[in-house]
Amino acid sequence: MSYAAASASRSHAFWAEFALAIGGFAIGTGEFATMGLLPDVAQDLNVSIPTAGHIISAYALGVVVGAPLIAVMAAKLSRRALLLLLMAIFGAGNLASAFAPDFTVLTALRFFSGLPHGAYFGVASLVAAGMAGPEKRAQAVGRVMLGLTIATLIGTPLATWLGQGLGWRAAFAAVGAIGLLTVALVWLFAPQDRPDAAAGPLRELSALGKRQVWLTLGIAAFGCGGTFAIYSYITPTLVEVAGLAESFVPVVLCIFGAGMIVGNLVGARLADRALLPTIGGAILWNTCMLALFFFTSHNAWLAVPNVFLIGTCFAIVPALQTRLMDVAADAQTLAAALNHSAFNIANALGAWLGGLVIAAGFGWSSTGWVGALLGLSGFAVFAVSMLLESQPRKTELHQQSA
């Protein structure tokens, strides 16, 4: 390949990854900004704040249901066509949310908006990895995920500010507009591809018969659940335990987002060098940072840097996404999409267990131990995965020596 051709190829890959990352930015902003707008939604639609929280649960349920359902049903579509369809659904769902006449309709629309979430990130990761080549797959996935991490740092605060100033409907409308912008960008820059003639629902469903796929999803569900155990209750912990002014909490959440960005970039680079050691090392790092929060949460000067370090736990995400590409064989779309279902299960599991120990009277800081135990559970799943993977190799070596 000539220098000019190589340069053009790199430029095309850059703009394709940029388009995919904008979609991740839209999804991340829509998902996280909703949490900060619950009081506004509750007041406008005449429901309690806990009841308003059902729109968050409805979106998460949409992610869990939509990821495998769409991956299987759309197996015969090209990846480019599927990305366009997914972002069109996401954009339309958020625009419609802005015009919801009542809470029941809004809840249904948040479920609808969550359907394309997991499948989008899964397919976008596969497209980016395919353009990057085998030696830089994880970094390409990390650049796509960068949109999601930047959403926590910039998108969510801006959408929350917009929603508080112009009403929560304006925030959903803005997210929907970014989703439709992504449709245009994907149309312009995503590589043209043809549907795989051999693809189909049954081939995608074959991923469910591979135990390494299930184990990798288990690592995500348990190993990442600890982060959500702490993050779900970060505001009352910082205010009640660390003595931080409530007005400073949004700044700390931005610091958490900065940690996610750093973790994403570093984790992706390490994963391209040594995938499995990166996964194992990231889980142990997560476990230590989460356990440390039990001790640092009593002092704001220690808690805030610890929150940044907990954010770096995102380092495992591109590594797990890449691992699924290796173990799913021909069923990569379903496996990649299910990864984000697993992360939403981690979200629900961490928040639930964290709430249990707080309600039992162990205090806000106890979420640190919940996080550490979930991290150790994730490492146990990883150890089982490595043990099972080593068995065929040992058998092969034994046969060769015989």
Condensed to tens digits (0 to 9), the pLDDT of residues 380-397 reads 999 999 998 877 655 444
Q: Does residue 218 fall inside a structural domain? A: yes
Is it the case that residue 206 has pLDDT exceeding 80?
no
Task: Indicate whether 329 pLDDT > 80.
Answer: no
Most confidently modeled range among 13-17, 223-227, 296-300, 351-355: 296-300
| pLDDT value of residue 235 | 79
245, 165: one domain: no
- The CATH number assigned to the domain holding 383 equals 1.20.1250.20
Are residues 120 and 260 located together in one domain of the fold? Answer: no
Report the domain count for the chain: 2
Q: pTM score > 0.85 for this model? A: no
Q: Return the pLDDT at 7.
A: 42
Q: Are residues 51 and 126 in the same domain?
A: yes
The pLDDT, as a whole number, for residue 394 is 53
Residue 200 — pLDDT band, cuts 50, 70, 90? low
> Could you tell me if 129 and 251 lie in one domain?
no
- Asked whether residue 251 carries a pLDDT value surpassing 50, the answer given is yes
For residues 172 and 218, state if they share a domain. no
| pLDDT above 80: residue 202 | no
For residue 176, what pLDDT is reported? Answer: 93
pLDDT at 396: 45
Confidence band (pLDDT; 50, 70, 90) for 146? confident
Residue of higher predicted confidence among 146 and 377: 377
Calculate ∠ Cα 233-234-240, nearest 5°: 90
* pLDDT given for residue 164 in this prediction: 76
Q: Domain range holding 334?
A: 199-402
Cα 344 to Cα 221: distance, rounded to the nearest angstrom: 8
